[in-house]
Structure 1
């Protein structure tokens, strides 16, 4: 869904998301990164305190059920992995060759091994709102976010595309935007949603020089974000 406001820059039709998807696999054959509850007895005290991701198989019934709920619509795309946070109630796909890292003020983050500016990060804050529509119209909310929150004073923001999707009664807004600085530009997708009394934000992006080549890949990440009931 694209807005027609003057402050929006229109792009050509959205490039098709890469369609190479792995064949249906049994739960036992899949693996993914999962953030377990700090009460999980299998975690050491250090793991619990740092709340780091742990790699587990789907032999656990709880993990299998949660994974089935997250990936019920389609299998994990080829060359992606799934990150599932049971404690904070969200999940998304990320490129399988990216590694996790600490991003200040964010709950989870993964980045390219060689290009740190290519990364995905997720954060959330408490809210009494029940749905993103409670924030206002999609155009106004996204414009204010990009202009007043995401952009630094020396950056020129542009918004290219806005989309809404609904999954299991939860609404998600995904938008593409660019922040242009003198001599440097960065483009990203962001997905925002509300659930579990939290306002979630996922941002995945790269510098402008790499954007055309990576756009389809990063759109998969943005579109995969899902809130899990906790």
Structure 2
């Protein structure tokens, strides 16, 4: 993948288009933690890869509590996780977010981490990042310009209709975030998503959490928690 810095008026050239169909391989995520609301225990699974992932996350939790590299996220780990959510914390890559605790980790090509609904693969969250020389999301431009460029020139395929539904800006722990809601529709397929973007650690981070349009009203509030939970950690 060719990497480049972001400029103010840009059509993101560094992200090749990705398939909307997630890959099914389970991820190996060393140096990251997936913590549930009540404990670090995992449900029984019939797939051996998921059992291995579960044991790995338990081991990471036990070892991580004793390692110094968890200190930058100590305050995050101390926060109460919302009911029915788990917390994913990636210390080396500098980010964290919540995801529904009944979702499972999987490999979404070109992304650093991803979780999906056990039965609805297109209902998922994924995160990736690219290098940038920008210091803050405001360096990219006003939220309306940035969102319009991203949705129309990157997220939407040429045959899709775009409907930008909402844009929000927030500041958490001194870092600025843009979160926006938008629908993409073609003749045979329609989806709605939240995307949260932020800049930190010399990286442009993108979190996308999506569902099929016909389910959006039922799951919107649930997925908004995921979008609003995204945080960039100092590394």
**Aligned counterpart, 1:124:** 129
**How far apart, CA to CA, are the structure 1 residues paired with 2:228 and 2:186?**
27
Is the 1:31–1:58 contact (alpha carbons within 8 Å) kept by the matching residues of 2? no
**Aligned counterpart, 1:146:** 151
**Aligned counterpart, 2:48:** none
Is the 1:108–1:121 contact (alpha carbons within 8 Å) kept by the matching residues of 2? yes
**How far apart, CA to CA, are the structure 2 residues paired with 1:213 and 1:58?**
36
User: 31, 47, 52: which one pairs with 2:40?
Assistant: 31
1:90 aligns with 2:90: no
**Aligned counterpart, 1:170:** 175
Give 3-state SS (helix, strand or coil) of 2:107's partner: coil
TM-score by length of 1: 0.74
TM-score by length of 2: 0.73
**Aligned counterpart, 1:199:** 204
Give 3-state SS (helix, strand or coil) of 1:162's partner: strand
**Aligned counterpart, 1:187:** 192
Provide closer, same or farther for how the CA distance between residues 111 and 104 of structure 1 changes in structure 2, counting only shifts above 3 A: same
**Aligned counterpart, 1:114:** 119
Count residues in correspondence.
184
**How far apart, CA to CA, are the structure 2 residues paired with 1:194 and 1:88?**
12
Is the 2:87–2:96 contact (alpha carbons within 8 Å) kept by the matching residues of 1? yes
Give 3-state SS (helix, strand or coil) of 1:204's partner: strand
Per-residue CA deviations over 1:47-96 (Å, capped at 9, x if unaligned) read: xxxxx994133571447645532256x51100100000011000000000
Structure 1 segments of 4+ aligned residues over 6 angstroms from their partners: none
Provide closer, same or farther for how the CA distance between residues 92 and 217 of structure 1 changes in structure 2, counting only shifts above 3 A: same
Is the 2:73–2:233 contact (alpha carbons within 8 Å) kept by the matching residues of 1? no
Provide closer, same or farther for how the CA distance between residues 162 and 199 of structure 1 changes in structure 2, counting only shifts above 3 A: same
